[in-house]
Amino acid sequence: MRQRERCNLVCVTEPLPRDWWTTRDVATYLGVTPSTIRAYAARGQMPDADRRIGREPVWRPATIRKWHSQRRRRASDDGVPAPQDQPASRGPDGKPS
């Protein structure tokens, strides 16, 4: 008996849409590190992945945008919440600019 049959795994034949986000993509969108996203997921502080590709969780961008729009945020210095509607831009050193 082949491993795939024994474990009851099916081969994914449909391609995933190109715009699904990996942990790294979500981290870029939120302006945090991928390890922060993994910590959020482990603590149940973000939506479960819409799908997994092997061990890699992936999310639909709409899932992350909706969750992010409903998150509590710290207030900025002027007392107005600091929205992050776009992925943080990064300089050549990899740090947010």
**Domain segments of the chain as ranges:** 17-70
Whether 4 has a pLDDT exceeding 70, the answer reads no
* Secondary structure of residue 68 in the 3-state scheme: helix
Whether 28 has a pLDDT exceeding 50, the answer reads yes
pLDDT, tens only, 62-83? 999 999 999 887 765 444 444 4
Confidence category of residue 35, pLDDT binned at 50, 70, 90: very high
Between 88 and 55, where is the model more confident?
A: 55
**CA 21 to CA 46: how far, in whole Å?**
14
Kindly indicate whether the domain formed by 17-70 is annotated with CATH number 1.20.1070. Answer: no
pLDDT for 48: 95
Whether 55 has a pLDDT exceeding 60, the answer reads yes
Between 19 and 39, where is the model more confident?
A: 39
